[in-house]
Amino acid sequence: MKFITRTTLGATVLATALTSGAALAPAASASARPTVITSAVLVSYPQPRVCIGHKFTVGVFHQPGSGGSHAYRVSVYNPAHQRILYRHGYATSHWKLWRIRATKAGRYHTIYHADGVRVRYPTRVHSCS
């Protein structure tokens, strides 16, 4: 069974529950140590709104000792549907963060893949006069 838990303070837990029915505890923030009971890759979801010229952050983290796959993929697409960031690898016990400058107005999309789960987050970029 797949779980996708979105917290209100800046992180998303992507996890695959073990057959024993283990539970998840959401992360507090990108800078805090998350509490996860199953194997999980945590991702920093980007701000939902950003002004043109400002940056938003995407990133991944893996809870030490939680076991399971550390593999992740992250892609960010601009409003013209061009991929402007692609990173993949293995999440570590330290946050891997990337800052994306919003250069065009419209919707950017951040897509994370981890533990067989795909999550997509939009970021609306607008002019702030």
Query: Quick one: DSSP state of residue 65?
Result: T
Instruction: Note the pLDDT tens digit of each residue in 18-29.
Output: 333 333 333 334
Least reliable range by pLDDT among 2-6, 30-34, 43-47, 94-98: 30-34
DSSP track, 78-95: -TTS-EEEEEEEE--SS-
Task: Name, in order, each residue with C-beta under 8 angstroms of 111's C-beta and a sequence gap of 6 or more.
Answer: 74, 75, 76, 77, 118, 119, 120, 121
> What is the distance between the alpha carbons of residues 41 and 44, in angstroms, rounded to a whole number?
10
> What is the distance between the alpha carbons of residues 73 and 36, in angstroms, rounded to a whole number?
20
Q: Which domain holds residue 75?
A: 2-126
Structure tokens given for 71: 């593999």
Instruction: Note the pLDDT tens digit of each residue in 91-129.
Output: 999 999 999 999 999 999 999 998 888 899 999 999 987
> Residue 6 — pLDDT band, cuts 50, 70, 90?
very low
The CATH code of the domain that includes 35 is 2.60.40.1930
- The answer to pTM > 0.75 is no
Q: How many domains does the structure of the chain reveal?
A: 1
Q: Does residue 16 register a pLDDT over 50?
A: no
Residue whose entry in the numeric block shows the structure tokens 């897509």:
111
